[in-house]
Amino acid sequence: MFKIAVLISGNGSNLEAIINACKNNIINGSVDIVISNNPDAYGIQRAKNHSLNYKIIDNKKFETREDFDRALVEELKYSNPDLIVLAGFMRILTPVVIEAFKNKIINIHPSLLPKYPGLDTHNSVIKNGDLKHGVTIHFVNEVLDGGQIIAQGELSVNPNETEKQLKRRIHSIEHILLPKIVSKFADGSIDVNNIIYEVF
């Protein structure tokens, strides 16, 4: 069975999308563990609702980023997942994690990378009058949101659209695209040597 580790920091709606895709056999695999750096993340409750293994590793309890990452690696090595999915995980990983799980970590980011790495992407799109917005799934490397792109989903920005409205529409793309890409990892049709896989 293809084992997935999902790392979260907040609401966990993309986690829920992956769980449901596993249950509905869209993904030929299972969520083996959910890890949160935030003890108050609602995604933890989602994991509990589905009787999944979960672990809270509170980054505030570690002196350095590397110390936190070593604890994360220890937990992930115990689980030994086939794929690690960063689904709203608000931490920049150091080489401690990236080297331990090379080419096995993917992230979903709410912009059409390489545009708008980092935070506040929806506001940037509106402020700059962009006509297109979207999401990117990419491999994780040492560069913030700079790893090889696997897939992108795109939408047209509506005139006078608010940030909240845009964010909601972006989430709806994420919840379709991320399970679809994870399923392709599970069946072996995506790996680090693949070029961009356009879905939308």
CA-CA distance, 154 to 132, in Å (whole number)? 7
Burial of 130 (0-12, 13-18, 19+ CB in 10 A): middle
Sheet holding 54-56, edge to edge: 54-56, 29-36, 2-8, 83-86, 105-109, 132-139, 149-156
The single residue of 50, 109, 122, 175 carrying the catalytic annotation is 109
- Are 35 and 66 in contact by the 8 Å Cβ rule? The answer is no
Per the annotation, the verdict on 109 as an active-site residue is: yes
Which are the catalytic amino acids?
109
